[in-house]
Amino acid sequence: MQGKSKQVNDGSYRLLPTWMHQAAIFAAALFVSILTSFLGTGDPAERFFGQIRDGLNSKPASGEIYLVEIDARSLKSLDKWPWPRSYHAQLVDRLNEAGVEQIVFDIDFSSRSTDAEDAAFAEALARAQGKVVLPTFRQPSSSGDQNAASENLPIEILREQAFLGSVNVHPGRSGQVNTYPFGAVTGGVPRPSIGALLAQANGGVNSVFELDHSIEISTIPAYSFVDIVEGRFDAASFQGKRVIVGATAIEMGDRYATARFGIVPGVLLQALAAETLMAGTALAHMGPWPMLFLAITLIAIFCRFQGRESWPKGAATVLLVLMIFMISLFAERYRYAHLDLAPAFLFIAVWIAGQYLMGFLRRLNRERYFDTATGHPNLAAWLRQKGTGKPAYVVVAEVANFGEILSILGEDDSARFVGAVADRCKFICGDVELYRIGRNQFCWKMDSESPQALENQIEAAGRVFNSPLHVGGRSVRATLCFGLVEGPFSDPLGLSSKAVLAAQRASRTGVRSLWHNESLADDTTQSLFIVSEFANALESGEVSVVYQPKFSIASGRVTGAEALVRWNSPAIGPISPAVFVPVLERENLIEPLTLFVLRRVIASLEEWHIAGRTLGCAVNISAPLLGRDTFVETALEIVRSGRANGSLLTFELTETAVVTSPDITAASIGRFAELGIHLSIDDFGTGQSTLSYLKDFSASEIKIDQSFIRLIASSNANRIMVRSTIEMAHALGITVVAEGVEDEITFNMLEEFGCDMIQGWHIGRPLTGEAFFESWVRRKTDSPENKADTAAA
């Protein structure tokens, strides 16, 4: 049934497919995280994570390394710095006696003191028999060249008796000392670091390892230099220990920043380095890649299981971050490696921000271009389509009975109803995009070989709606009307508006489908004028009532009139009631007009009665008005408050008018009948009224339509029809009026058939109130021969 359309979504209101967005977010996240890791902008975060890990992995020092501090107390008790070297000699002797395994000095011995003092220290070193390590350090050359740097050694007399170890440490980018070398090569001479010597560990001279900040440096047993020298210590506890001697007093300088412990004396860093090597936690630094790779993999897995739409879930994100962090934590605890987290976390953050942004944009787009009830694109989306200029058919489907359906369904069910209608429309338009362009309108493009073929397709498609829709336990029948338009697809709005117009017209005229044409548009302009101007016209006196006489054959007199409305617009001239009455009926604006006519008629009846001529008068009533309380009440009130007798009034009801609620209509008619008002069936013969219908509404008169009367002279069929109608009506006691009698031949024929009343130009044209009064009330000229056919209104 649907055209074989290749059209897919050419509307620019559609976002790129989700996977493309995901790919873009992925690329952005990867780029940002890699860039950060190269620029080092993640370092502060990295240190922060490191501190947390160190805190959690915190452990005490080995207890194998003792620290002998040149602290403030020692400086105070002993001499001013620099001390005589004999102090160091005493220290070495004391420790040697206590049976320590190794004594490492982190004190500069590169310049001579007095010969005696130097000799005393040298002798003590000799007594210690190679247990002592003295420091060397690199002196940067003035040019800054590494190879040109010179090594600062202890004076010769001392270095002959000791091992040498380098003490240089290198603060990193952050200014903090986080790594430590196994040794140093200065001026081509390789030298192990004192940390490596203390730990008795080997490593490439040029390689560095990361200091293990999870070792609590406060747990390294520490003693004041002065206490040792003066023998205030438990010598037994020093048995087999390694001792490092250095300055911790603030005034001695030699301080470094660390990530976890803040500013610490250099000697503690040396001790920490040794502890790190002894704990076996001088781990490889694996950089950001393993964790970044893990983050990507885990996100991929989460996405796989959660479905794209539901990502990111708060809990999942927390779990993911925690998981990655735990891995890095355990990697350090179980001495596997140091893993950088910042790029991985940044990747996750950018990824999630990207997801949110995408979700936000998608939601924005959905709200703007999609209908919530049906999920189909809306009018804004339809308008955003690019014009192709290629010939196209556009179809608009309108639910003609939408208002009625809404009034019986609640809000939720109405949305469901619209959804169900959309589903059926989708069935008609196939793989072509369906747009909901109005409350009760859907629109789509359609391919077809010819307009006729399209019409056939639509006709067939319309049958899809013959079976009722089931909504909220109710079955509702949607009446769909289709508006069709053909043209180059360059202006979506123009085409859809035309199709909408055609669909509206189709639904008003009760046809299944209608092609758009220009007269439809003209009609619309006219309707718009009528709708917008009529209320004013009624007030400003542009609208008036004329009267056309009704002649009674039996009495040979004019016994009444029919009131007909006239509108003479200063802007566009006279407008026929045949034009504006249907428009007002359609737009529910007929009530004020009818009441206006009724008031005039009541006034005229009075006037005629006072003038001594009691005539009846008919008013045309639109059938739906009888279902409206306000109208019925007001009309009754008007009749009651007038002095004219109700029995002089006849309401003319068009036979073809659809009586929507016969019960209510019959009740209203009954109420009018109580006041003596008669009911006449207008345009009889054009509809399908049965006689029982006449009975149901207790009509007392029928008016045979002009189209039959005009042809009775020439058409035998019409003669038979008119004659039998008169006979049947009489059999039911109903009076017969013939309308549109224009000549004497017709008049005579009707007289012969037994017709009761004659109306038409042969009797008289509709006249203004005054003219009618002159011609038919005052002059009392009753016979058709005396008719006043001069002033036709």
Q: How far is the CB of 732 from ligand C2E (least distance, A)?
A: 22
By CB neighbour count within 10 A (0-12 exposed, 13-18 middle, 19+ buried), where does 671 fall? middle
CA angle 450, 455, 459 (to 5 degrees): 150
The only residue of 296, 395, 597, 681 in contact with ligand C2E, by rule CB under 6 A = 597
Question: What is the pattern of x (binds Ca ion, CB under 5 A) and - over residues 179-198?
Answer: --------------------
Q: Among 362, 351, 360, which Cα is nearest to 300's? A: 351
71 binding Ca ion? (CB under 5 A)? no
Q: How far apart are CA 225 and CA 203, in angstroms?
A: 31
**How many chain residues are in contact with ligand C2E, going by CB under 6 A?**
20
Q: How far is the CB of 524 from ligand C2E (least distance, A)?
A: 20
701 binding Ca ion? (CB under 5 A)? no
By CB neighbour count within 10 A (0-12 exposed, 13-18 middle, 19+ buried), where does 349 fall? middle
Q: How far apart are CA 96 and CA 228, in angstroms?
A: 11
- Nearer residue to ligand C2E within complex by CB, 281 or 665: 665
DSSP symbol at 776: I
620 binding Ca ion? (CB under 5 A)? yes
Q: How far is the CB of 689 from ligand C2E (least distance, A)?
A: 15
Beta strands in 217-329 (DSSP E): 222-224, 242-247, 255-258, 262-265, 284-285
DSSP symbol at 176: B
Chain positions 637 to 676 lying near ligand C2E, rule: CB under 6 A, are: 652
- Nearer residue to ligand C2E within complex by CB, 275 or 682: 682
- Nearer residue to Ca ion within complex by CB, 117 or 562: 562
The only residue of 682, 701, 756, 782 in contact with Ca ion, by rule CB under 5 A = 682
Partners of 59 in the beta sheet?
215
The only residue of 166, 276, 548, 604 in contact with ligand C2E, by rule CB under 6 A = 548
Task: Evaluate whether 738 touches 682 at the Cβ level (below 8 Å).
Answer: no
Q: Which does 529 bind (CB under 5 to 8 A by kind): ligand C2E, Ca ion, none?
A: none
Q: How far is the CB of 652 from Ca ion (least distance, A)?
A: 4
- Nearer residue to ligand C2E within complex by CB, 369 or 747: 747
Q: How far is the CB of 509 from ligand C2E (least distance, A)?
A: 17
220 binding ligand C2E? (CB under 6 A)? no
604 binding ligand C2E? (CB under 6 A)? no
Q: How far apart are CA 56 and CA 62, in angstroms?
A: 18
Nearest to Ca ion by Cβ — which residue? 652
Residues 6+ apart with CB under 8 A from 303: 22, 311
Determine which helix (DSSP H) or strand (DSSP E) holds 209, and give its type and residue range. Answer: strand 208-210
Determine which helix (DSSP H) or strand (DSSP E) holds 737, and give its type and residue range. Answer: strand 735-738
759 binding Ca ion? (CB under 5 A)? no
Chain positions 738 to 757 lying near ligand C2E, rule: CB under 6 A, are: 740-742
Residues 6+ apart with CB under 8 A from 110: 152, 153, 154, 155
620 binding ligand C2E? (CB under 6 A)? yes
- Nearer residue to ligand C2E within complex by CB, 288 or 740: 740
- Nearer residue to ligand C2E within complex by CB, 172 or 577: 577
Q: How far apart are CA 312 and CA 291, in angstroms?
A: 19
652 binding Ca ion? (CB under 5 A)? yes
Q: Among 576, 566, 562, which Cα is nearest to 538's? A: 566
576 binding ligand C2E? (CB under 6 A)? yes
- Nearer residue to ligand C2E within complex by CB, 384 or 586: 586
Q: How far is the CB of 791 from ligand C2E (least distance, A)?
A: 13
Q: How far is the CB of 706 from Ca ion (least distance, A)?
A: 6
Question: What is the pattern of x (binds ligand C2E, CB under 6 A) and - over residues 549-568?
Answer: ---------------xx---
What single string gives the DSSP state of each residue in 27-65?
HHHHHHHHHHHHHTTTHHHHHHHHHHHHHHH-EE--SSE
DSSP symbol at 377: B
Q: Among 445, 421, 446, 439, which Cα is nearest to 378's? A: 439
CA angle 638, 735, 579 (to 5 degrees): 60
Question: What is the pattern of x (binds Ca ion, CB under 5 A) and - over residues 289-328?
Answer: ----------------------------------------
Q: Give the tokens for residue 320.
A: 């993911």
Please report, as ranges, the residues that interact with Ca ion according to CB under 5 A: 620, 652, 682-683, 739
Please report, as ranges, the residues that interact with ligand C2E according to CB under 6 A: 548, 564-565, 576-578, 581, 594, 597, 620, 622, 652, 682-683, 740-742, 760-761, 766
